[in-house]
């Protein structure tokens, strides 16, 4: 699976981030539950890769394990992750700290609880700068103020002296973005940055994020439920199902030619890109697919989607589908194409 992706990727540029055979399981009372099952993907310089999938398919688990932020135990993490060619899973704690915030930063799903309630915004915005860039307090404050301007927070000087509870949810998520962007990381991981916000704020935050991504050429992994968001902002999409990536394609390819039965199910009856982009008929949330969303459990030998698939064949239950490249960069893991 990984080889197919590495060798056949259309660009020869070195990816900023390469994930190889990432596997995450949780040791629980009922034995090991596999949340992320052997996935591999690349993020190329300056691109925005969307990671989509239903709730519980393991998106956050992927994001957190990339930053080595999952508590282990209970999590058992296997595989390798390369940031600009350097493997980071084998790094010591101290070395990982130098990657976090500096090379790779993260925006979390929960803006209300992700900021420390007892520290000022200034403190929380400057500590990364002082740590990674060796700035003095004064210089860091100045940079923090600029960053707040950048993310569109008015009267930045006053905001710096405030505490998180004095800010609205949208403002807090802007602060989180400013914080993540402060050291101009190569990779930004945004885990459903807008799920907790109201619709207008969602649009503003997304516009802000793609603006910043264009401006600074930061490679972004955007985790989302929202296909409308994907169509508008992402260059490429990886569709996750039950801990696996079942299809990877450019956004255009995915919407015009969804190939995995699960992707087709997600996009519903009208997977037309023009309709999606213009906003008519847009399935803004994932469409219901009959059957239950599986939660992390024992590893399945075959295709995890088989129980819900309308084109299921015998071997889908027993053999893991091998990835197939339908078009350059469009990879599907389904026995229909093998």
Min. distance of Cβ 161 from Mg ion in angstroms?
32
| Complete DSSP assignment for 195-259 | TTS-HHHHHHHHHHHHHHHHHHT-EEEEEES-HHHHHHH-SEEEEEETTEEEEEEEHHHHHHS--
CB of 116 to other proteins, least distance (A): 4
For residue 284, the partner it binds in other proteins, ligand ATP, Mg ion, none, with Cβ less than 5 to 8 A by kind, is: none
| Cβ contact 204:171 at 8 Å | no
Contact flags string 49-78 toward Mg ion, x per CB under 5 A: -----------x------------------
Indicate the residue among 118 and 199 with the shorter CB distance to other proteins. Answer: 118
CB of 254 to ligand ATP, least distance (A): 18
Closest approach of Cβ 99 to other proteins, in Å? 7
Binding-site ranges for ligand ATP (CB under 6 A): 26, 28, 33, 35, 53, 55-61, 74, 295-296
Nearer CB in complex with other proteins: 105/289 = 105
- Angle at which helices 137-150 and 169-181 cross, to 10°: 120
Query: Largest Cα–Cα distance in the chain?
Result: 66
Name the residue among 285, 146, 306 with its Cα closest to residue 242: 306
| Residues 51, 188: Cα–Cα separation, whole Å | 13
Residue of minimal Cβ distance to ligand ATP: 60
Q: Are strands 330-333 and 323-327 parallel, antiparallel or unpaired?
A: antiparallel
Encoded tokens for 274: 């023009």
Tell me the residue number closest to Mg ion, measured at CB.
60
Q: Closest separation between CB of residue 60 and Mg ion, Å?
A: 3
Between 107 and 144, name the residue whose CB sits nearer to Mg ion. 107
Q: How far is CA 318 from CA 9, 23, 331, in A?
A: 29, 20, 21
Closest CB 188 distance from ligand ATP, rounded Å: 17
Out of ligand ATP, Mg ion, other proteins, none, what residue 106 binds, judged by CB under 5 to 8 A for its kind, is other proteins
The residue (of 195 and 256) whose beta carbon lies closer to ligand ATP is 195
Nearer to ligand ATP, 153 or 238 (CB): 238
Question: CA 242 from chain center: how many Å?
Answer: 15
Whole-number minimum distance, CB 71 to ligand ATP, in Å?
A: 7
For residue 296, the minimal CB distance to Mg ion (Å) is: 12
Whole-number minimum distance, CB 51 to ligand ATP, in Å? 9
Question: Judged by CB, which is closer to ligand ATP: 37, or 253?
Answer: 37
Sheet holding 31-43, edge to edge: 31-43, 17-28, 75-83, 86-87
The option from ligand ATP, Mg ion, other proteins, none interacting with 58 (CB < 5 to 8 A, set by class) reads ligand ATP
Find out whether 11 and 39 touch, Cβ atoms under 8 Å: no
Name which of other proteins, ligand ATP, Mg ion, none residue 35 binds, using a CB cut-off of 5 to 8 Å depending on partner kind. ligand ATP
Among Mg ion, other proteins, ligand ATP, none, the one that 69 touches (CB under a kind-dependent 5 to 8 A) is other proteins
Rounded to the nearest 10 degrees, the angle between the axes of helix 199-216 and helix 169-181 is 10
Nearer to Mg ion (CB atom), residue 223 or residue 309: 223
- DSSP label of 100: B
DSSP 308: G
With respect to other proteins, which residue has the nearer C-beta, 121 or 245?
A: 121
3-state SS, 21-83, equals: EEEEEEEECCEEEEEEEEEEEEECCCCEEEEECCCCCCHHHHHHHHCCCCCCCCEEEEEEEEE
Nearer to ligand ATP, 56 or 152 (CB): 56
| Chain residues in the site for Mg ion (CB under 5 A) | 60
């Amino acid at each position: 699976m990984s080889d197919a992706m590495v060798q056949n990727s259309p660009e020869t540029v070195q990816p900023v981030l390469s994930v190889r055979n990432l596997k995450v399981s949780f040791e629980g009372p009922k034995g090991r539950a596999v949340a992320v099952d052997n996935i591999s993907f690349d993020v190329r310089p300056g691109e925005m890769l969307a990671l989509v999938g239903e709730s519980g398919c393991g998106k956050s688990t992927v994001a957190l394990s990339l930053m080595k932020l999952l508590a282990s135990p209970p999590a058992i993490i296997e595989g390798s992750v390369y940031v600009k060619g350097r493997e980071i899973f084998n790094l010591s704690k101290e070395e990982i700290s130098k990657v976090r915030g500096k090379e790779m930063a993260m925006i979390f799903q929960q803006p209300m609880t992700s900021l420390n309630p007892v520290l000022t915004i200034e403190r929380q915005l400057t500590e990364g700068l002082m740590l990674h860039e060796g700035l003095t307090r004064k210089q860091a404050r100045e940079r923090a103020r600029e960053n707040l301007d950048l993310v569109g927070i008015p009267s930045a000087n006053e905001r710096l002296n405030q505490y998180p509870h004095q800010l609205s949810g949208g403002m807090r998520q802007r602060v989180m973005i400013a914080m993540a962007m402060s050291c101009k990381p190569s990779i930004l991981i945004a885990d459903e940055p807008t799920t907790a916000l109201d619709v207008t704020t969602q649009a503003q935050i997304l516009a802000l994020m793609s603006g910043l991504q264009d401006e600074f050429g930061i490679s972004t992994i955007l985790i989302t439920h929202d296909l409308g968001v994907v169509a508008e902002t992402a260059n490429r999409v990886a569709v996750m199902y039950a801990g696996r990536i079942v299809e990877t394609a450019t956004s255009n390819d995915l919407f015009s030619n969804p190939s995995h039965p699960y992707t087709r199910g997600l996009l519903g009856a009208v997977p037309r890109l023009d309709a999606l982009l213009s906003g008519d008929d847009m399935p803004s949330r994932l469409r219901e697919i009959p059957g239950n969303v599986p939660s992390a459990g024992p590893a399945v030998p075959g295709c995890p989607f088989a129980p819900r698939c309308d084109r299921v064949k015998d071997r889908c239950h027993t053999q893991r589908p091998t990835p197939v490249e339908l078009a350059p960069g469009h990879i599907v893991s389904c026995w229909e194409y093998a």
